[in-house]
Amino acid sequence: MLEINKQSIAPGRESEFDDTPPPQDLSVYINIIRRQFPIILLVIACTTALGMIYLFTATPKFSATARMVIDTHKVQLFQQQSSLGDLAADPAMTETQVEILKSENISLSVIKDLHLTDDPEFVGSGGGLIGAVFGAVTSLFSGPEHSASEFELTRRALARFEKQRDIKRVGLTYVMDIEFTSVNAEKAARIANAIADAYIVDQLEAKYQSTKRASIWLQDRIKELRTQATAAQRAVVAFKQKNNIVDTGGRLMTEQQLAEVNSQLIMQRAATAEAKARLDRINEIMKQDIPDASVTDALKNDTIIKLRGQYVDIAAKAAEFASRYGPNHLAVIRLRSQMEEIRRNIAGELERIQQAYKSDYDIALTREHSIKNSLANVVSENQLTNQAQVQLRELDSSAQTYQAMYDNFLQAYMQATQQQSFPITEARLISPASRPLSKSKPKTIVVLALTIAGGLMLSLGIALFRELSDNVFRTSRQIETQLRTHCLAILPVVKVSSVKPPGEEERKRVEPPNSRNIRRAEKLFWHVVDAPFSRFTEAVRSLKVAIDLNGVVKESRIIGITSSLPNEGKSTVSANLAELIAHAGGRVLLMDLDLRNPSLSRSLAPEARGLIDVIAGKVTLTDAVWADRATNLSFLPSGATPKMMHTNEVIASAAMKSLFDHLRTVYDYVIVDLPPLAPVVDVRSTTNIIDSYVYVIEWGRTKIDVVEHNLSVASGVYDHMIGVVLNKADTEVLGRYEGYHSNYYHNKYYARYGYTE
């Protein structure tokens, strides 16, 4: 971007200018496009033209598509025969078939069947202008021609064939599209169908060969497995007879007895634990005086429940009588006796229940011990036959394995035999390729869209690169942001022809002897007078107004005009500013203080005595000043300054300061054309004689870092600087950066006078 925020040169001026960077919104990018619009339009036009050239020169190509499916339902009737030759069709298997279709085996088969090695499309240089040019260039470096061998033609045709063929799976289905592109529509359809046919033939041949090899191998293997299975079964029967092993429903008798006894032991242990729990519970109840209601309900004993109910009723009645008649009343004593009797009855009933529970527990414990002894005997008997059982399992497993292998191989052999006599394949052609009616390549709309989109992206990249690399001053906002000073005026570039200076004899006839009239050899120096309504003149007027406003704050009679580099137009600005002030009736002196390169003196008063002679006391100021009769402009040339070494010492001398003090009393304005800052140090020596400075920057050429560096090392100049003038601006381009600086407003205002630029 142009508005690059850098460190302020003068911190004291930060309050005068907005240091906030412009928001990076959509308008910033719109402005970039507006500024770089010619480049963007040119790049898009070039890319579009390239696309059109390609469309006109490229050979049209036609694409034909054949559609094939891997049909798993097709072989469902023969599912038993498909265990060897056919594999289940899953996504991975379908992708595998796509790769088989792309294999060289299929491609070479099609090339051979259709004799494509004799087709120029597959063994030639290719069609179209591009192919012809490529073939011509290749022939220049390939040396003398030689006839290609059959192998070379085949490989060349194969390479071209694979480029023009495209095979892909349709979504997640088992359908595959076989597409072929050719310069001939009928040829494209014929080759696409040939690829599908070659694939089906290849699959059938592969299955036939595999089933044939499998049948031969299975016959030998089945004979071996039959013998091994028979021997293994006989070994199992002989081992059982030898070790008296009897099967009962597939299990050994000892194993069945062990399982039954173990189950009985588990059940008896549960019964013993239950009896023990009842005995422990009744023992806890025996410790209570009167069991509570929950206990009696748990025991489910009608006698205890009835006795406890009577006890509760009598206890309630005894409490009532005691509170009414006293605790020693006869009725109360009688009731207490009844309560004690009931308590003894409950205790007796509980003892009876305890004895019953204890008897049950003893019986359960005896049964458990008996079952444990039985289990130990069964385990002892079972251990005697463990080794025999291990050997029996090994023999039985071996027999079952051999029998299963024999059955499987026998079934596979039957399937292979049947499939060999009835070969089928899952693939079938569901949509044969037909001759396409329109070309597929190149696609006009796609090519134009891509070229336009590519041109737009490329042009935007170039535009952005130009913006980022444009390290020059182009807008007034840049001046304010980068330099912290005002942009006083933007002077448009003015193209005028120079007037040929009169010869010596002619000048003597026109001018009186000893006249010191300024010579008008350079029309650009007088443009404000020759074109008073031009935009250039209006910009110089705005510069004059800025100088006058600055004079309100501080005295600004001596105005120095300088720049960073030579040829930025400071002398032109100085001359036109002085001419404008003089033409308006002001007393103004134009001084050439560029002692190293006095361009103003060479143009206005060549070989004249001037400033140096006045400082040296050789001539008076009145005798050194030249004048313009049309505007009453006074001009003080630099004088003879060839190869002057210490010009900065002359400028900083007391005589120079005394001269400038005198000029303040004589003239309203003194416009001083100073040397540039970068090549020489003379300008830094003028801070004691110059009131204010105007800095001239050439629009679109002077680098920002050059100006910043020169002003940073010349702080005295910067501190007294009124502002900056952007010179030699291209108004048409400037209008794309700052629309309010375009020629539209100036021409619209002066249109009433019939004057436009």
For range 363-377, the mean pLDDT: 80
**CA–CA dist 636, 624 (Å, integer):** 6
559, pLDDT greater than 90 = yes
Cα 19 to chain center, whole Å?
33
Q: Is the pLDDT of residue 141 over 50?
A: yes
Token duo for residue 240: 């059982």
Selection from 235, 218, 191 nearest residue 415 by Cα: 218
pLDDT tier, 269 (very low <50, low <70, confident <90, very high otherwise) = confident
Q: Which neighbouring-strand residues pair with 726?
A: 490, 697
What percentage of residues in the chain have a pLDDT greater than 70? Answer: 78
The token duo for 395 is: 């023999």
More confident residue, 611 or 74: 611
- Mean pLDDT, the chain, rounded, equals 78
Q: Any alpha helices (H) in 625-695, and if so which ranges?
A: 647-651, 654-666
Reply yes or no on whether the pLDDT at 12 is more than 90. Answer: no
Q: Is the pLDDT of residue 490 over 80?
A: yes
Q: Is the pLDDT of residue 176 over 60?
A: yes
Please compute the mean of the pLDDT values over residues 519-535 and round it to a whole number: 82
- Grouping H, G, I as helix, E, B as strand and the rest as coil, residue 269 is helix
CA-angle at 95, arms to 92 and 101, nearest 5°: 145
Evaluate if residue 371 carries a pLDDT over 50. Answer: yes
What is residue 493's predicted lDDT score, i.e. its pLDDT? Answer: 85
Task: With beta carbons less than 8 A apart as the criterion, state whether 252 and 246 touch.
Answer: yes
- Confidence class for position 46, pLDDT limits 50, 70, 90: very high
Domain at 476-498+522-753, CATH from 3.90.1150.10, 3.40.50.300, 2.40.30.160, 3.30.200.20: 3.40.50.300
- The yes-or-no verdict on residue 142 having pLDDT over 80 is no
> Which pLDDT band, with edges at 50, 70 and 90, does 83 fall under?
very low
What pLDDT was estimated at residue 251? 59
Determine contact, residues 101/176, Cβ cutoff 8 Å. yes
Q: What is the pLDDT of residues 152-168, one digit of tens each?
A: 888 888 999 989 899 98
Distance CA 197, CA 97 (A): 14
% of the chain beyond a pLDDT of 90: 13
Query: In this predicted model, which residue has the larger pLDDT, 425 or 707?
Result: 707
Distance CA 712, CA 298 (A): 108
Confidence class of residue 170 from pLDDT cuts 50, 70 and 90? confident
Instruction: Give pTM, 2 decimals.
Output: 0.54
Lowest mean pLDDT among 491-500, 575-584, 619-628, 693-702: 491-500
Residue 697 confidence (pLDDT) above 90:
yes
> How far is 505 from 515, CA to CA, in rounded Å?
14
Q: 223 to each of 226, 227, 649, how far by Cα in Å? A: 5, 7, 123
More confident residue, 358 or 135: 358
Contact in structure between 308 and 290 (CB atoms under 8 Å)? yes
Strand partners of residue 166: 179
Distance, in Å, from the CA atom of 142 to the CA atom of 627, rounded to the nearest integer, reads: 81
pLDDT band at 641 (very low <50, low <70, confident <90, very high): low
pLDDT band with cut points at 50, 70 and 90 for residue 252? low
Task: Please tell me which residue, 547 or 296, carries the higher pLDDT value.
Answer: 547
Q: What count of Cα atoms within 13 Å lies in the side-chain half-sphere of residue 711?
A: 27
676 pLDDT tier (thresholds 50, 70, 90): very high
Q: What is the reported pLDDT for 509?
A: 45
Q: Give CA–CA dist 594/674, Å, rounded.
A: 5
Q: How far apart are CA 68 and CA 203, in angstroms?
A: 13
Predicted local confidence at residue 1, as pLDDT: 30
Thinking of the domain 61-208, which architecture would CATH place it in?
2-Layer Sandwich (3.30)
Task: Say if CB 74 and CB 101 are below 8 A apart.
Answer: no
Q: Which two tokens stand for residue 566?
A: 């030579």
Return residue ranges of the chain for CATH 3.40.50.300.
476-498+522-753
Strands 633-636 and 626-628: antiparallel
Q: What is the pLDDT of residue 573?
A: 93
> If you count them, how many residues does the chain have?
757
Q: What is the model's pLDDT at position 746?
A: 57
Maximum mean pLDDT: which of 50-59, 645-654, 656-665, 741-750: 656-665
Coil vs helix vs strand at 62: strand
Residues spanned by CATH 3.30.1890 within the chain?
61-208
Q: Is 629 helix (H, G, I), strand (E, B) or coil?
A: coil
Comparing 572 with 338, the larger pLDDT belongs to 572
**Residue 85 pLDDT exceeds 50:** no
Q: Is the pLDDT of residue 733 over 90?
A: no
Query: What pLDDT, on the 0 to 100 scale, is given for residue 6?
Result: 37
**Which one-letter DSSP state was computed for residue 694?**
E
Q: What is the pLDDT of residue 562?
A: 94
Please compute, for residue 363, the number of CA atoms within 13 A of its CA located in the half-sphere on the CB side: 8
Of the two residues 579 and 9, the one the predictor is more confident about is: 579
**pLDDT tens column, 376-399:** 777 776 666 666 666 777 777 777
User: Which residue's structure tokens are 């379908």?
Assistant: 94
Least confident of 124-128, 585-589, 672-676: 124-128
Q: What's the average model confidence in pLDDT over 26-41?
A: 76
Q: What is the mean pLDDT of residues 673-700?
A: 90
- Distance from the first to the final alpha carbon of the chain: 30
Residue range 585-636, pLDDT digits in tens: 889 999 999 888 888 888 888 888 888 888 888 888 888 999 988 888 999 9
C-alpha closest to that of 744 among 753, 735, 733, 736: 735
* pLDDT confidence of residue 125: 66
For residues 185 and 216, the model is more confident at 185
What local confidence, expressed as pLDDT, does residue 132 receive? Answer: 56
Backbone angles phi, psi at 263, to 5 degrees: -65, -40
